[in-house]
Structure 1
Amino acid sequence: MTRANDLILRTTTSLIAFILLGFSVYLFFAGHNKPGGGFIGGLMAAAALVLMYMAYGLNAIRKVIRVNYLYMIFTGLIIAVGTGVGAFLFDAPFLTQNFGYFQLPILGRTELATALLFDLGVYLTVIGVTMTIILTVADDREES
């Protein structure tokens, strides 16, 4: 049986999680030119996921979002470290940033930077670490 406040929480969660995820993507892409980036964007995405877990429950969200957050941590770390080590291939110091302008089909002339790849690694790592911690604590509380 669903209580009234569960219904309100679930209804508002759909809208709030969508806004949080949208803002997370904005912060991620704005990060190398403006305040934001992978860390705060990842925290915003994790906040949206935690809200969905709180509203719908662990089992319901695990059926919909089949992500192993430990693999997400590993993937993020590989991307971030790979971006830094990749500079060595061009005889540049660790984590040296480079950028260029490219003509993309829908976006037109767009600046792409290696900092975006580093931010992607940080973004995935932060989501993975945050969700692993939160879900581990939630699993421990269910067992007690």
Structure 2
Amino acid sequence: MATREIQHITDAEWEIMRIVWTQGETTSKEVQQLLNQKTEWKTTTVKTLLARLVEKKLLSTEKLGNKFIYRSLIEEKSGIQLETDELLGKICAKEVGAVLKTIIDESVLSVEDIEQLEKALQKKKKNAVDVILCNCTPKDYSYKQAN
């Protein structure tokens, strides 16, 4: 499934998806047990969220005996790309660098992560522009003061 075809994943659904991605396949009971460590969601809430994810075609479900097995239909990387696109779509283009710096400052990174970031920045620097233009309003937008 292409990233653009993926429907928005809510924060609650994201919690479920993280478990499914980590487990590979899971049941609602396993999801509930893992979520109990950080949430107080009821079983019905977990089952509702799983059903929504199946409806959005983000999870598949298969009945096995008296339980349902859930598997992801998208790769974690695609989900992360969706979230990244949504975040970058919400902020001014001029602020992207500052946001990335904040993410780096606030994140625990391995030496390998830092080396990959350095390589990516060096590659990006070859085609960097001098000035980033604001993308917050349409180019033909003009402020008209009320008389």
Q: Highest relative contact order (Cα 8 Å, sep 6+), 1 or 2?
A: 1
TM bracket, shorter-chain basis: under 0.3
Please tell me whether Structure 1 or Structure 2 has the larger radius of gyration of its CA atoms.
Answer: 2
TM-score by length of 2: 0.24
